[in-house]
Structure 1
Amino acid sequence: MTEFEPNSLRSYSQEDVQQILQLAIARQADDKDKEFSYELLLEIATELEISPESLNLAERDWRSQQSEIQQRRAFDSYRLTRFRKRFGNFAIVNGCLILINFIASGGLTWSLYILLFWGMAVGLDIWNTFQGKGEEYEIAFQKWHRKHQFKRTINTLLNKWFKALQA
């Protein structure tokens, strides 16, 4: 397709339409904090001949995706915080052991073995922490997610119970 074709002869695939509209909206919205109302979203969908039911389903799917993205970010933050704590423990304990070994024998002997073996464990921890894809990541995420859902459910039940006792 060339730029000289009349507008009536131009045609686009659905994917092309999505990409063009996405670029147009990005250019129009210079202000990243600009928000669109639901009414405007509904009006745009109507002009694109998208039914309100399809729009509602798409919005529900989008909210679900955003929720999962937020949960994965929280999980990644949790893993990073846990790793930093373990690495801090590793550094402090091994630093002290190396210092004790150096003061006691004037050199480094047995403390290097501890540093080496514990260092291998830390290396594996680094691998597992920063590997953001794969089956092991999904299993760890699902386990973490279930644990937090269970905690949320217990907290909700306890809050309802305490409110009932106070009434």
Structure 2
Amino acid sequence: MPVSETQITRSYNQEQIQQILQIAIARQTDDTEFTREQLLEIASELEISPECLQVAEQQWQAKQGEIQKRQDFNLYRRSRLQKQAGKYTVINSFLMLLNIVNAGQLSWSLYIALFWGLGLGLNALNTFQSGGEDYEKAFQKWYRQYQLKQSLTTVWDKVLKAWQT
């Protein structure tokens, strides 16, 4: 006699429950946004304390901030690579044109383009690599500079406000 689906008792671990609920909420809402009150209500129905929810929300906000900073860093690296590629194109085009005008053929300018292009290619490889120790060091260096720039801007704004009043 086959056992029906309703007679089988299923059990899920916490990660499985999270995944199932996440899929169900995503399917049900169709881009509907929830208010904070609704979030509190859902948490209370799941017997999650307001304190635990608040800590989770703070962790989520910190993680979102970190993700945004990394996206800004990646955008910065790509824009820097674009500038380098632009310089490479303009200068090497000029050098090749100069080489053709003077010698009637491409000779020495190809070596410059080749070696400079090798460096640019390695830089492009590093730019699009978004993991590992080198990436993390570059991100930390960029973030320290970013924070210093923000601090100096804040101090400068305060000095200007104090001077204007």
Q: The TM-score by the shorter chain falls in which range?
A: over 0.9
Is 1:108 aligned with 2:106? yes
Q: Residue 164 of structure 1: CA displacement?
A: 2.0
Q: Residue 95 of structure 1: CA displacement?
A: 1.0
Give ranges in structure 1 of 5+ residues lacking alignment: none
Aligned equivalents of 2:128 and 2:110: distance in 1?
Answer: 26
Q: Which residue of 2 aligns with 1:25?
A: 25
Instruction: Report percent identity of matched pairs.
Output: 52
Q: How does 1:1-167 map to 2 (within 5 A)?
A: 4-6=5-7, 9-30=9-30, 32=31, 34-167=32-165
Matched positions, count: 163
Aligned equivalents of 1:70 and 1:6: distance in 2?
Answer: 47
**RMSD (CA atoms):** 1.5
1:133 alignment partner, SS class: coil
AA in 2 matched with 1:14: Q
Aligned equivalents of 1:158 and 1:80: distance in 2?
Answer: 29
What per-residue deviation string (whole Å, max 9, x for no partner) do you get for residues 48-67 of structure 1? 11110110000000000000
Q: Residue 144 of structure 1: CA displacement?
A: 0.5
Q: Residue 142 of structure 1: CA displacement?
A: 0.5
Q: Residue 11 of structure 1: CA displacement?
A: 2.2
Does 53-62 or 119-128 show the bigger shift? 119-128
Aligned equivalents of 2:11 and 2:53: distance in 1?
Answer: 24
Instruction: Report the TM-score when normalising by structure 1.
Output: 0.92
